[in-house]
Structure 1
Amino acid sequence: MEYLTEFFTALIELSNAMAPYILFGLLFAGILHEFVPDTLVTRHLGKSNIFSVIKATLFGIPLPVCSCGVIPLATSIKKSGASKGSTLSFLISTPITGVDSILATYGIFGWVFTIYRVITSMIIAMVSGILANLFDKEERVETPAFSAVKASTAFSPAFSMQKKEETGESCCSTAASCCATEAKSFWLTSALRYAFVTLLGDIAKPLLWGLIIGALITVAIPQSFSEILIEYSWLSYLIVIAIAVPMYVCATASLPIAAGLMLSGVSAGAAFVFLSAGPATNTVTIGVVKKMLGTRSLAIYLGSIVVGSIVFGLGLDYIFSASEIDPASLVHMHEEAGVVAIVSSVILWGLVGYLLLRRKA
């Protein structure tokens, strides 16, 4: 009974932590879908080459979106015609380094650690994208009747106004502000429908299972594992990876955890592994990537993050040991819940439940 209570507590806390960012990501994706033509995404991110991977990586780095908020954005650009490699690169680079996370990293660890984190996340994202384009190529087929481009055009304000002109229903003939108001409300309605019906409907099931599994993992893992990492230093990288990959933690929230590990005596490299692998993936993202891109891309996604994080973690340890700098001396030492998180969680669960029940009906 106690374990069950802990599980539901962890599930509620995890939902409260993720829900605002997922809803924000969905809304942002819906607005992008309305104002960024699918042809633009296809032209810049649709090709299976290194340039589209670089563009996706650079596009993702400054966005202040966490590892759960990036899911609807990545789903959106994939549906708009982005290649698997570009989608993976965007999925990895975006949650590790946003503007907020970069500034927070500098505030806690200084400029050396910050620059190293940004550059290595770019490399991991690009390598993952290139590998996906090389080993998981997809066959492109022409969509005959109702393509994504036609769909977005059909639900655009311009198309709505054109249809009114063809049928003689011109609201402009009666009121000057009528057209602007109707166009504004129409694109907003279309954006909301795309975000919270189309996109969320695509990821509702893996999102639900990811939250449940994530809560189970949170309960199963000890709250304080720094002593284990210090005692078995040669295994610290693998232990941190095993904890960080399935666990949900956003880039900014991972910083105080990594700082605490370093202050407890854990190596800077092991703390870096947590900062890199933790925000880049979690059980929710893993489920969505498998559904959206397939098993092979999922293996490339996880393999790139795990191997890249460990390699660059070892590199960071080497840099500090060669320069004889104590990593703990770099640490210059946030709790959120509240009404927004709780309301967001209720809204998200309500939408997921509604979409899953509607799909079964």
Structure 2
Amino acid sequence: MSFLTALFELSNAMAPYILFGLLFAGILHELVPDTLVTKHLGRESVGSVVKATLFGVPLPVCSCGVIPLATSIKKSGASRGATLSFLISTPITGVDSILATYGMFGWAFTIYRVITSMVIAMVAGVLTNYMDKEVEQPKPLFSAAPQGGFSMTPLHAKTDEAGSCCSGGSCCESTQKRGFSLRAALHYAFITLLGDIAKPLFWGLLIGALITVAIPENLSAILVEYAWLSYLIVIAIAVPMYVCATASLPIAAALMLSGVSAGAAFVFLSAGPATNTVTIGVVKKMLGSKSLSIYLGTIIAGSILFGLGLDYIFDISDIDPKSLVHMDEEAGLIAMASSTVLWGFVGYFLLKPLLENKGNL
């Protein structure tokens, strides 16, 4: 019963942001040409990683809402490194989280959190581009003709609506522009993208609820008692657990006020919003096991390193951030409705192959 309750609460917490992220991704897909994403984020370079990181920092999107956005820019031609850096920097920061961090811990802590998240994201992106390069498939020099023969038109050349060939980028620019279509945006968001992430989303929610049930209620007491292991304990809890950047703030403040080191609390602030079981499953499916290892390894190592650095700063300056916090525990009607809609879509995509196979018999 406690597992079902945890699953219900986790779904209510994540569903509105996932649906919003899907809708936002669908609208961006209609408004932003794929060529623009490819131009700025497609190269396996440091520049593309920096651009993806900076693009993700101000977006008020949590670790579940960023999934469809990252999937969308990857489909549009972004490199693995740029996609991964965007996937890390976006959920840790965001305008709402930055302001909330400032209100709770002050400007120095806020700047430290933003800069360290950007560094972690950039390092992960650069490592991915150099250690997990995209393998380009060899393309034939000439395209197949409709009648089964071969056309002498090179594949890299563009053709306009009349069929004339143009190898440059400007002569066909007008034919590539399209008007905004809400129907196309919704189809891309809730059919294309959600269909891609439905299975890892399903398992991520189940595993996330199981982990939530397994976390002891006296967590802060355990962390204080085993101070030398607090970093590893926090990492083990924060990585699979779902918590958004803003909601992680009062948890971190409560840990500090209960005697847990500021560095260990910072590890939770950094690793918690950046990862969860749902995101881990999607990253593995979208980018592969090697990128997933870089993703987790960079976040874990970076969070611990910067946590130790924060402890050192607190030790030499005697900083003791304290604040009053408030969290809404009750799930509203919108959250429950969003959860119902999301589970409806997930159930449809999970059952769709079974129904199609049954119909073919």
Match of 2:323 among 331, 346, 350: 331
Aligned match for 2:4, one of 2, 5, 8: 8
Deviations 1:235-281 (A, max 9, x none): 00000000000000000000110010001011110010000000000
Counterpart of 2:168?
A: none
Report the CA distance between 1:142 and its aligned residue.
7.6
Tell me, yes or no, if the aligned pair for 1:263 and 1:331 is still in contact at 8 Å: no
In the TM superposition, 1:70-81 aligns within 5 A as 70-81=66-77
Map of 1:140 onto structure 2: 136
The alpha carbon displacement at 1:160 in A equals 12
Counterpart mapping for 1:290-309 below 5 A: 290-309=284-303
Once residues 48 and 99 of structure 2 are traced to their aligned partners in structure 1, the CA distance between those partners, rounded to angstroms, is 27
Return the alpha-carbon distance in structure 2 between the equivalents of residues 160 and 348 of structure 1. Answer: 33
Alpha-carbon distance in structure 2 between the residues aligned to 1:138 and 1:338:
43
Among 222, 244, 251, which residue is 1:250 paired with? 244
Q: Distance in 2 between matches of 1:281 and 1:241?
A: 10
Deviation at 1:102, TM superposition (A): 0.3
How big is the alpha-carbon RMSD for the aligned residues of Structure 1 and Structure 2? 2.1
Report the secondary structure of 2:253's partner residue: helix
Where does residue 310 of structure 2 map in the other structure? 316
The residue type equivalent to 1:47 in the other structure is: R
Per-residue CA deviations over 1:265-299 (Å, capped at 9, x if unaligned) read 11110010000000000000000000000000000
Equivalences for residues 1-361 of structure 1 within 5 A: 5-141=1-137, 187-325=181-319, 327=320, 329-333=321-325, 334-335=327-328, 336-360=330-354, 361=356
Residue deviations 1:122-154 (CA, integer Å, cap 9, x gap)? 000000000000100012348879x9xx9xx9x
1:52 maps to amino acid: S
Report the Cα offset of residue 16 of structure 1: 0.2
Which ranges of 4 or more aligned residues in structure 1 deviate by more than 6 Å? 142-145, 158-162
Closer, same or farther in 2 for the Cα pair 1:259/1:197, shift >3 Å?
same
Give secondary structure in 1 for the equivalent of 2:62.
coil
Unaligned runs of 5+ in 1: 163-182
- Partners in 1 of 2:16 and 2:50 — Cα distance? 29
CA distance in 2, matches of 1:138, 1:122: 23
- How far residue 330 of structure 1 moved from its aligned partner, in angstroms, is 3.9
Deviation at 1:222, TM superposition (A): 1.0
**2: distance between equivalents of 1:356 and 1:283?**
18
TM-score by length of 2: 0.86
* C-alpha distance in 2 between matches for 1:110 and 1:34: 39
Distance 2:7 2:26 in 1: 27
Contact map agreement 1:93 1:125 (CA 8 A) in 2: yes
Contact 2:21 2:68 in 1 (8 A): yes
CA contact (8 A) 2:41 2:48 kept: yes
Shift of 1:323: 1.3
- The letter for the 2-side match of 1:117 is R
TM-score (norm 1): 0.86
2:242 alignment partner, SS class: coil
Which blocks of at least 5 consecutive residues in structure 2 are unaligned? 145-154, 162-173, 357-361
Question: Does the Cα contact within 8 Å between 1:45 and 1:83 map onto a contact in 2?
Answer: yes
CA deviation after TM superposition for structure 1 residue 356, in Å: 1.7
Code of the aligned partner of 1:350: G
C-alpha separation between the residues in 2 aligned to 1:296 and 1:109? 36
Distance 1:252 1:41 in 2: 29
Higher normalized helix content (fraction of residues): 1
2:176 & 2:238 partners in 1: Cα distance? 47
| Inter-partner Cα distance in structure 1 for 2:13 and 2:76 | 29
Q: Any idea what the Cα deviations from partners look like across 1:211-251, whole Å, max 9, x if unmatched?
A: 00000000011123000100111100000000000000000
Q: 1:228 to 1:141 in 2, by over 3 A?
A: same
Task: Check the 8 A contact 1:107/1:332 in 2, yes or no.
Answer: no
Report if the CA contact (8 A) 1:110-1:330 is conserved: no
